Structure 1
Amino acid sequence: MTLRSELGRILQREDINFLLTNRIPRRLATRFLGWFSQIENPLVARASIATWRLFADLDLSDARQKSFKSLHACFTRELKAGARPVDGDPRVLTSPCDAIVGACGRVDGTQVLQAKGFPYALKDLLVDPALIEAYRDGQYATLRLTSSMYHRFHAPHDGTIERVTYISGDTWNVNPIALRRVESLFCKNERAVIRTRLGAGDGGDHLVTLVPVAAILVASIRLHFLDVTMNMNYRGAAEIDCQTPVSKGCELGWFEHGSTIIVFAPPGFRLCDGIREGTSIRMGRALMHLP
């Protein structure tokens, strides 16, 4: 088989994947899965999870429960105690979730990459001018959660959540194929912008922001400290002031399926050794060094 024919086959598979996951009625599919996943019937749950296993490497060995009353309960499962040790070093920012690391590194002025050759502007993602300036030439890391991963996310450091901005949007798939084809995809999708002040002392009063980005079949972000679920039906305030203290590793919320969290930190932060595109990371492992 020639290199050209092999590349042709790869591109054809990518075309099919893109069509199947993005050229369908995305909002309708998302609403349907949201309804179906919450059907509380043991037979439906077992059949759904068995089908899920056919298409994904679903590992439930570290789940707190071994049986689930619905597909939704499996999606949003909790872990056994001690399954994700949290790095206690106050000089590091830990990963808020299990993920595969996507584009990461230094913010180029006020631009970052969603994939090679596909930059986007901070103003289009974060909206808030103060945040755009806070992360000019700073650091960022894109963390992609696959469908079979643990879907809850946690505080990366001790601090205070000052504000949450909810931005309604589309539900494009956020897999690597779509990121290489849809310009400024993260800026198009539904998302929450979570501002956290790390506090004085070891935190150095730095402002760190998490941006959970929803996607097709997800479009639902649950935040415990607000006791709300942000999705296509959300009609609450877009700007929510919080002043909620959090400790490193405490649970902040979850996605309904799988998606992406982008972490932004000011200049002076740097990625930890081994953090590069394509590597896997678990919640609680060191992600960035503080200045």
Structure 2
Amino acid sequence: MAKSFFRLLTELSSRKSISRVTGAFAKSRFSRKLIPWFARTYGIRIEDAEKPVAGYRSLNDFFTRKLKPGLRPIDKAADIVVSPVDALITGMGTITDGHLVNVKGQDYTVGELLNRSPRVVNYRHGFYYVLYLSPTDYHRIHSPAGGKVLETEHIPGKVYPVNDFGLRHMKRVLSRNERLITYIQHDKGEIAVVKVGAMNVSSIQYAGPLPETIERGADLAYFEFGSTVVLLMENGTFTGRSDLKLGSKVKMGQTLGRLHDKA
């Protein structure tokens, strides 16, 4: 009964208008007083931030903070994919005939995640990661591989929570929520970086105008409050690290696996 009631409340509050209200406050100068409380509550290492707390104009400005140079080194080995974010791995595995199976008890299709893009065929037998960012995490998103930016797409949608409750008890939140997708072509194929909005997220923003080519680890986008990134690797082009599993924590710049010629 409690879960059903909370699910109903979540459905009612999943509209972008609610997120716009919370987002407007988080961007206001009045919210800056909450920064120390927010940092203490979520155990955020303020000493890692690029600027001192007093240098942030609002809670949102602090939340989308950059880090001091060198705190997230990018693995320099050739032909690898790095984590684009600091996150918890909440889903991973081989894509089977276009299906991502048992992501917190629910199945998804590549078609619904990518909004029926013609590029769906490239990922029907690829590999995926679902990377969840909690409020504690650094919230800027970086490029997982170097290459050519092929295409971008913004998909309007709901703003359901993407935490454990949302993924388990709300219906197919990864494919119903607002999404911003970037397709990147590397030497071995392509990667889809699917940025999924969430409750109290007023928007997902690109860090700046996208260049024609992007370097691995380059600043790509950021979330205004917590969310999730789904990475999709093209068919037969990727082998993941054997020591990573569901529940593993990864930092931006750490290796997820290696790219190779199509099998």
Q: Assess same fold via TM > 0.5.
A: yes
Q: Does 1:29 align with 2:18?
A: yes
Q: Residue 162 and residue 258 in structure 1: after superposition, are their counterparts in 2 closer, same or farther (change >3 A)?
A: same
Q: How do 1:176-255 residues align onto structure 2 when only pairs under 5 Å count? A: 176-198=164-186, 203-204=187-188, 206-226=189-209, 244-255=212-223
By how many angstroms is 1:121 displaced?
Answer: 1.3
Q: Is the 8 A contact 2:14 2:159 kept in 1?
A: no
Of 52, 59, 63, 2:49 maps to 63
Q: Residue 26 and residue 57 in structure 1: after superposition, are their counterparts in 2 closer, same or farther (change >3 A)?
A: farther
Q: Is the 8 A contact 2:14 2:199 kept in 1?
A: no
In structure 2, the residue matched to 1:265 is 233
Task: Give the match's secondary structure for 1:180.
Answer: helix
Letter in 2 for 1:89: A
Q: How do 1:64-79 residues align onto structure 2 when only pairs under 5 Å count? A: 64-67=50-53, 68-79=56-67
By how many angstroms is 1:174 displaced?
Answer: 0.6
Query: What is the distance in 2 between the residues matched to 1:221 and 1:129?
Result: 20
Query: What is the distance in 2 between the residues matched to 1:283 and 1:54?
Result: 22
Render the CA deviation track for 1:126-150: whole Å, top value 9, x for unaligned. 0244321101111000011111211
Task: Give the match's secondary structure for 2:48.
Answer: coil
Q: TM-score, normalised by structure 1?
A: 0.81
Q: Does 1:281 align with 2:250?
A: yes
Query: What is the distance in 2 between the residues matched to 1:274 and 1:17?
Result: 36
By how many angstroms is 1:95 displaced?
Answer: 0.5
Query: What is the distance in 1 between the residues matched to 2:181 and 2:14?
Result: 26
In structure 2, the residue matched to 1:236 is none
Q: Does 1:167 align with 2:155?
A: yes
In structure 1, the residue matched to 2:132 is 144
Q: Residue 107 and residue 15 in structure 1: after superposition, are their counterparts in 2 closer, same or farther (change >3 A)?
A: same
Q: Residue 160 and residue 27 in structure 1: after superposition, are their counterparts in 2 closer, same or farther (change >3 A)?
A: same
Task: Give the match's secondary structure for 1:61.
Answer: helix
Question: Larger radius of gyration, structure 1 or 2?
Answer: 1
By how many angstroms is 1:55 displaced?
Answer: 4.1
Q: CA RMSD in A?
A: 2.2
By how many angstroms is 1:271 displaced?
Answer: 1.4
Letter in 2 for 1:270: T
Task: Give the match's secondary structure for 2:242.
Answer: coil
The alignment-based identity, stated in percent, is 28
Q: 123-132 or 142-151, which moves further after superposition?
A: 123-132
Q: Residue 22 and residue 82 in structure 1: after superposition, are their counterparts in 2 closer, same or farther (change >3 A)?
A: farther
Q: Residue 259 and residue 25 in structure 1: after superposition, are their counterparts in 2 closer, same or farther (change >3 A)?
A: closer
Query: What is the distance in 2 between the residues matched to 1:285 and 1:64?
Result: 20
Q: How do 1:17-56 residues align onto structure 2 when only pairs under 5 Å count? A: 23-24=12-13, 26-41=15-30, 44-46=31-33, 48-53=34-39, 55-56=41-42
Letter in 2 for 1:218: V
Query: What is the distance in 2 between the residues matched to 1:23 and 1:54?
Result: 30
Q: TM-score, normalised by structure 2?
A: 0.90
Query: What is the distance in 2 between the residues matched to 1:148 and 1:72?
Result: 14
Q: Does 1:115 align with 2:103?
A: yes
Task: Give the match's secondary structure for 2:46.
Answer: coil
Render the CA deviation track for 1:193-252: whole Å, top value 9, x for unaligned. 111011xxxx32x111100001111141111343xxxxxxxxxxxxxxx77210111101
Q: Is the 8 A contact 1:90 1:157 kept in 2?
A: no
Q: 278-287 or 122-131, which moves further after superposition?
A: 122-131
- Which blocks of at least 5 consecutive residues in structure 2 are unaligned? none
